[in-house]
Amino acid sequence: MQLLTPLALTLAALAVPIILLYMLKLRRKQETVSSTFLWRQLLREQQANAPWQKLKRNLLLLLQLLILAALVFALARPALQVPVVASGSVIVLLDASASMNAVDVNPTRFDSARDSVLDLINGLSPASSLTLILVAEKPQTLIAAETDKSLLRQALDNAQASQGSADWESAFALAAGAGSNSTFVIVSDGGLPESGLPALPGEVRFIPVGASQNNLAISALALRPAQKSPQLFAEVTNYDSADRNVLLSIYFNDQLIDARQLSVQANSSRSLTLDALSNESGIYKATITTPNSNNSLNSLNPPNSQSSINSLDSLPLDNTAFAVFQSSSSRRVLLVSNGNLFLEQLLASLPGIQPFRALPAADGTIQMPNDPFDLYIFDGVAPPELPKANLLFVNPSSNPLFEVGGTYNEFQNMQVDQHALTNFVDWSNVHILQAKTVQTPAWAETLIESDSGPLVFAGETKGQRIAALAFDLKESDLPLQIAYPILFSNLINYLAPPSAFDATRSLEPGESLSILPPSNAERIVVASPSDQAYTLALDQTVFTQTDELGYYAVNFISGDSNHVEYFAVNLFDEAESNISPRETIQIGRSTVTPTASQQIGQRELWSWLAALALLVLMIEWQVFHRRQIPSLPIFRNNLDAEKR
């Protein structure tokens, strides 16, 4: 053992005044009395009242000296040399992925990992520093190059496990930038990519966490349209080494519609398809539980007992999944044109489109209807004030969104840029007589172009989606090509999607969602599975707070009306559901095995000494008050009364 601040031992000299206080005799106050008969003993003491007396055995003195000794040694910071995993400059990567919520170690893998990091912090020498990086969907540095152990413990206490996957590539880049020639300590259950991770600029050590591979998961839950009603596909995967029986229950809006017992072999999957489902919009929920008498097939409500879910396996997060079905509704599209048979026939043929037409007046003025539409198409004309909605311009005229110049008729090297809106669009046989000179706005992307300028572009600005064709359809053979319905179908589905977002697609935790609000929406409020509300501005249509598993409600508020759509976030990740602990990890070209404590660190004992001082202080307080109580007049009178 060594003392980190030995000069604090000089405070032991405080014991001298404490002892001297106990050697001083009590000096009493002189008073005049009528008789000294009853005060002879007092007079004898007063006569013998010298300044000093012989030090007597006193329990209070011993306790007070013990308190002083404990405090002095605590200030001296005694420390024991103990073996530790790393010392010096240490960078810790703490795994906070979904698999770290497994309960195969008590209470969870993440809590066990935090205990390992806490041991590492407690064993740091005074010259060592530690950087703590939490590895989740978005890795973050909780504390950097800190030597103060109290601050390190506080940062560690603030670390929480996530419900999604971990981005180890970004975490390694963050760790490499935190310092070179450091010791990198990875605390994880081994759920790192098996290859592709770069080498770190220092020695890498691995502290494994986890004890079991016992886990079953709902690995898929999806809806797909059919002729009369949607179909639901569900899949259960057994990641355990033993065959398992499981009860799969399917609910629609919290009402049980099907429950089946499945026998799933080890390291394999079983699937289930349900037909003839309701065409109503709603939320489907799938749960897996242990088949027993408590799980009745006739139950109308989903199981709420967390203990029954946890008893199935070691990771309850992937035992529940959600899927959202959104019934299709007609999208209102207004065509403002002097007459275009090609566009009118196309809008009439597209499914889910309710077309309307507005004709400009004879003098060219445009009277816009008061009713809102999901999409406005302007063919060769444009009103002075554009509606605050999604717009499609064909043969555009001057407008506030982009500049329109003269015409040109030379089209060299026409090409289709790679984009989701140009999928399956073949432009090789398209011919154009002339087009207008348009400069692609900064907010837009060019979809189809020639050497003379863009022919088709699209983008988003101030919460509006805009697309434009820089030529007249009647001055091209595009309506005669197969590219015509494909291009316009892609554009219209982009500008006026069937819903504000694709609700049928399940998101991963942390994945952002692009929201296209209705034209009459005044406010967007998103409610998370834990009922936390997030308010989005109309020009902020990307929602990123998707860290929780479950279903989210997106409320489009307009005046007193509220339109709600839902989307689901599920843990369909084999890397997280397969919780089998790994004995080694691959970093660069090196295979890293679990690390034993090889270096020497220091474990300080001052906290124990401070606790001892507090305990002795409480004992000293009790002893002092017990001695004082009998000397009080009320107790003395009671004793005299008992003697009589």
Per-residue H/E/C for 49-98: CCCECCCCCCHHHHHHHHHHHHHHHHHCCEEEEEEECCCCEEEEEEECCH
Distance of alpha carbon 591 from alpha carbon 197, whole angstroms: 11
Give the list of residues 6+ apart from residue 309 with CB closer than 8 angstroms, or none. 287, 289, 303, 316, 319, 320
Question: Would you call 229 exposed, middle or buried from its count of C-beta atoms within 10 A (0-12, 13-18, 19+)?
Answer: middle
State the pLDDT at residue 511: 92
Collapsing DSSP states into helix, strand and coil, what is residue 225?
Answer: coil
User: What is the number of residues in the chain?
Assistant: 644
Taking the C-alpha atoms of residue 373 and residue 333, their distance in angstroms, rounded to an integer, is 6
Which pLDDT does position 583 carry in this prediction? Answer: 85
Q: What are the residue ranges in the chain where pLDDT is below 70?
A: 1-6, 20-29, 33-56, 76-87, 227, 293-310, 328-329, 519, 595-606, 627-644
Q: What does the alpha-carbon distance between residue 72 and residue 69 come to, in Å, rounded to a whole number? A: 5
Q: Which residues contact 454 (CB under 8 A, 6 or more apart)?
A: 438, 439, 440, 446, 447, 448, 470
Q: Evaluate whether 289 touches 218 at the Cβ level (below 8 Å).
A: no
Question: Tens digit of pLDDT for each residue in 596-609?
Answer: 544 444 556 667 77
In 3-state terms, what secondary structure has residue 544? coil
> What are 395's two structure tokens?
């043969």
Q: Could you tell me the sign of the dihedral formed by the alpha carbons of 374, 333, 420, 454, in that order?
A: negative
pLDDT tens string 324-375: 998 766 788 999 999 999 999 999 988 888 899 999 888 878 888 888 888 9
Angle, vertex CA 601, rays to CA 595 and CA 602, nearest 5: 145
Q: How do beta strands 590-592 and 2-3 pair? A: unpaired
Measured distance CA(429)–CA(478) in Å, rounded: 9
Pairing between strand 244-252 and 89-95? unpaired
- Return the structure tokens found at 179: 């310092």
- In this prediction the pTM is 0.65
Give me the residue label for tokens 């690390």: 595
Question: Taking CA 34 as the corner, what is the angle to CA 33 and CA 36, rounded to the nearest 5 degrees?
Answer: 75
The strand pair at 78-84 and 599-604 is best described as antiparallel
Rounded to an integer, what distance in angstroms lies between the CA atom of residue 208 and that of residue 195?
A: 18
At 639 the pLDDT is 44
